[in-house]
């Protein structure tokens, strides 16, 4: 695992592609991604350009991505992992971690809120259950 990584928290997909390509050209070999950033596809596109150009091989790159809070329930972990893998255009992800150690209400809305604007947490799942589903 490379000692230094390139963080991909960049909201704009075009800028994400450009910045990721520039990072790879500059020699970064660890990409730090996350479902939460909503740009895994753009990161995957940039990575594919480097692979196609022959300037980078898969075995030279370490890719991390993260499980978002709305997917902590065990039955949601594998589908979330597979979706990240597809968006990143990878057969394997080198490191898949829990983004934050607390669960939100499960669903596709990454920011579930109640009528008062407060985050809706999911008390129906433990961190140990989420961790177990990652193994």
| 10 Cβ neighbours under 8 A, 6+ residues apart | 16, 19, 37, 39
Q: In this structure, what DSSP letter does residue 105 have?
A: P
The set of catalytic residues is 37
DSSP three-state, residue 104: strand
pLDDT by 10s per residue, the chain, length 135: 899 999 999 989 999 999 999 999 999 999 999 999 999 999 999 999 999 999 899 999 999 999 999 999 999 999 999 999 999 999 999 999 999 999 999 999 999 999 999 999 999 999 999 999 998
To the question of domain 6-134 being in CATH 3.40.50.2020, the answer is no
The model's pTM: 0.93
What are the angstrom distances between the C-alpha of 102 and each of 5, 125, 130? 25, 9, 10
């Amino acid at each position: 695992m490379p000692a230094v990584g390139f963080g991909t928290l960049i909201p704009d997909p075009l800028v994400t592609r450009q910045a990721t390509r520039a990072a790879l050209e500059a020699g970064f070999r660890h990409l730090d991604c996350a479902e939460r950033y909503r740009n895994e596809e753009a990161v995957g596109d940039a990575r594919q350009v480097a692979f196609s150009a022959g300037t980078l091989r898969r075995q030279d790159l370490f890719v991390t991505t993260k499980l978002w809070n709305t997917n902590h329930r065990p039955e949601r972990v594998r589908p979330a992992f597979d979706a990240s893998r597809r968006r990143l255009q990878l057969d394997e992800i080198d490191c898949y971690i829990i983004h934050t150690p607390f669960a939100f209400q499960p669903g596709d809305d990454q920011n579930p809120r109640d009528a008062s604007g407060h985050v809706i947490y999911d008390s129906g799942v433990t961190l140990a259950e989420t961790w177990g589903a990652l193994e």
